[in-house]
Structure 1
């Protein structure tokens, strides 16, 4: 039974990730074929409520596709602990609540990203193809993301993400509300670790599937490889150099 429950949770996480990437793939295709697909994404006109819903949905689904893989180890470990502590309970349900809490944290980020993109669109700092149009702003975002890779706040959040067992033992709460609260808390740590990296998409293209995949892979490696801090620092330096290079034409 325990093995079956873990398999069910793992299969569910994999299915969610595949569906999310399928949606992103379709949206990327639709943006390149606006003559065939209507209202796939907002155009150059002023946004209305429906445009905001489309963009929010895109960000929310994107966070599922990018972040669920890196959250899978802690969710599966949570399932195993649930099986051990509450053999008569429902580990699959509890794990679903943990995942819901985790995604609620990233949904909050998606709201903020949507509002940011709306503001950028209103002042023409982002193109209809969702690529930043200001080299100075793009360089500033990259430099900020690079500097953040060196900050104590980044490493405090990363340490929680890199130690799923320690997080679960220190933050354990029983019951359905406890599972949800633990998921929210872990999601907040994860958001605190990665939010500036997500903003890099405003520079390279919000719907650039290659960069979405690269960032998702980086987040996973940063959380799981033993030299995660070295990866963070090296990437930070690369982002700073890239940001200076992009902004150099404006600054000279």
Structure 2
């Protein structure tokens, strides 16, 4: 009975933290800096612009720090509910250890590190595409083609073997923890466990996360929808049933986007 109460409290705290991340994102989106969640230029307005002007390398460091903060809040809002099962398993495994909070924190840090690496790569790719669009007259007037390509790629990835294998690993938190929690260097292994789980999570969700760069990383409604889809896919056995309809829906969306724009061009 006590164990059940502890698990309910654990999930309650985890979901409360996710809700807090959603609240902070909403407050950010309602602020004068709301549009900068979409990777705009942080150096132009308000106190951020003043700090950029005052600090050495401010125009580089502050936007990067704010981007990381926004990305971490997005991860907390969208991905925390999807990793609660593995954190629950690990927390029960180390519940009698005096350093259990530090170990759980290291698992979370390792997990975030994998997603931060993906976020950095996605952000650089986004900047590269923006530079490409500026150099191409056709892409300047037909940016929809890049969006359609990303949406189609996300749809096709739903049918890939990589997606299936990564999802299977994410759906077995007990076996995953047992497999990766071993050795004498407990703190290093805790961070490594979180890192490896993060890599599998990136492996099954990266294509869906890229959709945020198409629809806007500041769009909380789409974030909530995508977060819910990823939570269902990862945490429920019946989640595999939505992969095919989701993939077909994304491919259909891409085809419709292409048809509408080509018809308009015609």
- By the TM > 0.5 criterion, same fold? yes
Alignment of 1:148-187 (within 5 A): 148-174=157-183, 175-187=186-198
Q: Which residue of 1 aligns with 2:223?
A: 212
| From 181, 201, 205, the counterpart of 1:194 | 205
| Cα drift, residue 224 of structure 1 | 2.1
| From 218, 221, 235, the counterpart of 2:232 | 221
Contact 2:180-2:189 at 8 Å conserved across structures? no
| From 203, 216, 224, the counterpart of 2:214 | 203
| Cα drift, residue 165 of structure 1 | 1.1
CA pair 180-3 structure 1, distance change in 2 beyond 3 A: farther
**CA separation in 2, counterparts of 1:162 and 1:3?**
21
**CA separation in 2, counterparts of 1:38 and 1:65?**
18
Contact 2:36-2:42 at 8 Å conserved across structures? no
Give the RMSD, CA atoms, in angstroms: 2.9
- For the pair shown, which has the larger CA radius of gyration, 1 or 2? 2
CA pair 150-212 structure 1, distance change in 2 beyond 3 A: same
Q: Which residue of 1 aligns with 2:153?
A: 144
1:241 aligns to 2:252 (yes or no): yes
Q: Which residue of 1 aligns with 2:52?
A: none
Larger relative helix fraction: 2
Q: Could you list the runs of 5+ residues in structure 1 that have no partner in the other structure?
A: 126-132
Number of aligned residues? 238
CA deviation map 1:158-189 (0-9, x unaligned):
00111111211222225111111101100100
CA pair 160-39 structure 1, distance change in 2 beyond 3 A: closer
Displaced runs of 4+ in structure 1, greater than 6 A?
A: 1-5, 37-41, 44-47
SS in 1 for 2:104: helix
Q: Which residue of 2 aligns with 1:130?
A: none
**CA separation in 1, counterparts of 2:111 and 2:209?**
16
**CA separation in 2, counterparts of 1:72 and 1:206?**
23
Contact 1:5-1:91 at 8 Å conserved across structures? no
CA pair 110-169 structure 1, distance change in 2 beyond 3 A: same
**CA separation in 1, counterparts of 2:80 and 2:162?**
22
Contact 1:158-1:190 at 8 Å conserved across structures? yes
CA deviation map 1:199-228 (0-9, x unaligned):
111222211100000010111111122222
Q: Which residue of 2 aligns with 1:90?
A: 99
**CA separation in 2, counterparts of 1:112 and 1:203?**
16
